[in-house]
Amino acid sequence: MTEGSDLRLKRLPLNNGSGQMPVLGFGTLIPDAAATIAATRNALDVGLRHFDSAERYRNEREVGEALQAGLAAGGIAREDIFVTGKLWNTNHRPERVEPAFEASLKRLGLEYLDVYLAHTPFAFQAGDDQDPRDQDGNVIYDKEVTLLDTWRAMESLVDRGKCRAIGLSDITLSKLLLIYESARIKPAVVQVEAHPYLPETELLDFCKEKGIVFLAFAPLGHGMRPGPLDDPVITAIASQVEKTPAQVLLAWAAQRGTALLTTTRTAARARENFDISVLPEEAFDEINRIKTRQRLNSVVTTGVPGFIAQGR
Ligand SMILES: NC(=O)c1ccc[n+]([C@@H]2O[C@H](COP(=O)([O-])OP(=O)(O)OC[C@H]3O[C@@H](n4cnc5c(N)ncnc54)[C@H](OP(=O)(O)O)[C@@H]3O)[C@@H](O)[C@H]2O)c1
């Protein structure tokens, strides 16, 4: 651990030396504009310094507004926060990458991004419709562009100093290997679904070997019930260590060497999710032995967002 045993302060270095990602990240996949502003401010106020955004979430303006206001009110410098953006599937054609990036930057009101990810490895028909479908309702994919073409255009963004690092999301190990082997600028971050029911151990091992930050989304299983939050191993450990099941799941993710993204619209849960501490080794090992396997989000197989977080 880089910051003693305080998981809340833990950061993971990016493999191109451009910075460090705070392990605890806040995701902004929040369908409502006003809720986005309030939730992003709450997250900043409780101490979170890592924010995940995407053009697909259609709320970059609100995220940017909340960040500007929060930074100004808290005397926090831009350099003190870490901001991720994501290129949507309809902008994979090389000539669309820079304009899409610039548009995101403008909406966020920022001068640079810490990391820019290809949101999924799937290219959709280029255009303004983020969800292009044929008459039968099937997604229209763009067969004319490869992920490597898109990656090369993303590498140029780093060359021009517009984003500090680049990475991939919703990617499998085999697809990651193809890019890794051909890339001039290696992926610095991989963002995928991960929780005790989907530990993605092989991918995590590869990322650790190559110094790629493994950034877990759905660490709380998207908040779904039943799900990891109700798992008997998790709830028993929570009682034992006097933490909540959510805090146990987040601590496990941080302790196994991943960064993570969690989302909540409430200030109380933002505080709860930031207040994590190291689990005893036996508890950590017990979570690693959970046998249940479940993928909650099918985006990795189709490029279509499989789940929009909903409060219960
Ligand atoms: N790359 C991708 O394709 C992709 C896909 C999905 C998500 N993401 C990113 O990952 C971020 C995280 O979202 P997620 O759904 O994956 O995260 P998650 O943290 O696993 O689940 C969030 C859900 O859990 C609930 N929750 C939050 N804190 C809780 C707590 N302490 N106790 C009980 N329930 C709690 C929230 O409800 P309340 O709001 O009611 O608290 C929300 O419904 C997204 O915002 C987005 O940035 C990326």
Q: Is 91 in the pocket of ligand 1 (CB under 6 A)?
A: no
Is the CB of residue 287 below 6 angstroms from any atom belonging to ligand 1? no
Q: Does residue 252 register a pLDDT over 60?
A: yes
Mean local confidence (pLDDT), 122-140: 97
- pLDDT category, 112, cuts 50, 70, 90? very high
Q: Which of 57, 112, 116, 180 is catalytic?
A: 57
Residue 265 Cα, ligand 1 centroid: separation in angstroms? 9
The per-residue pLDDT for 37 is 98
Residues in the chain, total = 312
Please indicate whether residue 197 is annotated as part of the active site. Answer: no
pLDDT on residue 306: 79
Mean predicted confidence (pLDDT) in 271-298: 97
123 pLDDT tier (thresholds 50, 70, 90):
very high
261 lines ligand 1 (CB under 6 A): yes
Q: Which of 197, 165, 226 is nearest to 287 (CA)?
A: 197
Q: What is the pLDDT of residue 307?
A: 63
As a whole number, mean pLDDT of residues 19-42 equals: 97
Q: What is the reported pLDDT for 308? A: 52
For the cut 50, the answer to whether the pLDDT of residue 87 exceeds it is yes
pLDDT at res. 2: 40
Q: How much is the pLDDT for 311?
A: 38
Ligand 1 atom nearest to CA at 247: 31
Average pLDDT over every residue of 96-121: 98
Residue whose entry in the numeric block shows the structure tokens 């993204």: 261
* Average pLDDT in the chain: 96
Q: Is the CB of 60 under 6 A from ligand 1?
A: no
Of ligand 1's atoms, which has the minimum distance to the CA of residue 245?
Answer: 32
What pLDDT was estimated at residue 5? 75
List 27's β-bridge partners, or say none.
Answer: 52
Q: Could you please report the per-residue DSSP string of the chain?
A: --STT-GGG-EEE-TTSS-EEESEEEE---S-HHHHHHHHHHHHHHT--EEE--GGGT-HHHHHHHHHHHHHHHT--GGGSEEEEEE-GGG-SHHHHHHHHHHHHHHHT-S-BSEEEES-SPPBPSSS-SS-B-TTS-B-B-TT--HHHHHHHHHHHHHTTSBS-EEEES--HHHHHHHHHH-SS---EEEEE-BTTB--HHHHHHHHHHT-EEEEE-TTGGG-SSSGGG-HHHHHHHHHHT--HHHHHHHHHHHTT-EEEE--S-HHHHHHHH---PPPHHHHHHHHT--------THHHHSS--------
Residue whose Cα lies nearest atom 6 of ligand 1: it is: 217
With cut-offs at 50, 70 and 90, classify the pLDDT of residue 193.
Answer: very high
Q: What is the pLDDT of residue 215?
A: 99
123: CA distance to ligand 1 center in Å? 25
Ligand 1 center from residue 33 Cα (angstroms):
16
Q: Residue 228 C-alpha to ligand 1 middle, in angstroms?
A: 13
Please state whether the predicted TM-score (pTM) of the whole model is above 0.95. Answer: yes
Output the residue whose Cα is nearest ligand 1's atom 8. 217
Q: Whose CA is nearest to atom 39 of ligand 1?
A: 264
Looking at the predicted structure, is the pLDDT value of residue 310 above 90? no
Q: Which of 217, 224, 296, 304 to mutate to test the pocket of ligand 1 (most atoms within 8 A of CB)?
A: 217
- CA 155, CA 172: separation in Å to the nearest integer? 20
Residue 196 above 80 pLDDT?
A: yes
Q: What is the pLDDT of residue 312?
A: 32
- 29 CA: nearest ligand 1 atom: 45
Report the C-alpha gap between 57 and 309 in whole angstroms.
11
**Mean pLDDT for the stretch of residues 219-233:** 97
Give the confidence band of 25 by pLDDT, cuts at 50, 70, 90: very high
With beta carbons less than 8 A apart as the criterion, state whether 258 and 204 touch: yes
Task: Kindly give the distance from the C-alpha atom of residue 224 to the centroid of ligand 1, in angstroms, as a whole number.
Answer: 9
Read off the pLDDT of residues 158-169 as tens digits, 9 standing for 90 and up.
999 989 999 999
